[in-house]
Structure 1
Amino acid sequence: MKITLTVNDEAYPLDVEPRRVLADVLREDCGLTGTHLGCEHGVCGACTVLVDGKAVRSCLMLAVQCDAKAVRTVEGLAGPDGEPHPLQRAFSAEYALQCGFCTPGFLMIAAGALDADPDQIAGLVESNICRCTGYEPIRRAITHATRGDD
């Protein structure tokens, strides 16, 4: 099926099988490997991206569902000059990353909430799985970013 994915403001005209999930297309066809695949069942959150500003598990969403929609991945968080996003700076400042596998998912779910409702931080952190750092530094980093404490 011919679709056009608009990922991080760049158009990707693609011919994909209708059954392929967005995570695989982002990684394999678009070369955007920041979206990680962990459980492939929508549980861990490592594959979280924004579709039209809303956080989604890209391992559960079909790529064809994103035709003509705006997709934002972790690679699209930094500014045009490469300046890290406030969330990325806060994750570094608060030591909210260790192995880094879960980090893109946490960054993207938080980015979606920063644009919507920053009062949902606790629920956001509980929705993704981290096996290394623990959740307190991640909570602190998201709170740090919502306050604008650069």
Structure 2
Amino acid sequence: MIQSHLGEIYSFITAICWTVTAVSFELAGKKIGSLSVNYIRLIIGFILISLITTFSRGMALPLDASSHEWIWLSISGFVGFVIGDLFLFQSFLEIGSRISMLIMALVPPITAFLGFITINEVITITDFLGMVITIFGIFVVVLVRNPEGNNF
């Protein structure tokens, strides 16, 4: 029984982890600032990923990568981990983790739409219906006022 629903179970656990992470980063950002939270997260993340890659690949950094790969890896890391997460953590402070995470839920429909426009990806009726339901749900939650005034 459980084996046939592992995808749903893992999805639910992932959603819980994302929620706990967002709320934790929001609370930490309110105490020490979003920039400090991002620095601390980057340092801890670098240490942990270095440990994992040391055990899994025998080296802390991808020293076997070419200079071309290092350039793209550096650009990707800087844009995603530094700039993107800095804006994300600041959004947790400005509009709260609840609204920030809901806005992030718009990424898949936007990506599908951009794929349709730029590289002629096919969007089926089911795909389109899923995007409409997602966007409608986000609008409903965003437009509902939270009476307690907190963002959780």
Give TM class, smaller chain.
under 0.3
**Larger helix proportion of the pair:** 2
Q: TM-score, normalised by structure 2?
A: 0.27
**Larger strand proportion of the pair:** 1
Task: Name which one, 1 or 2, has greater alpha-carbon Rg.
Answer: 2
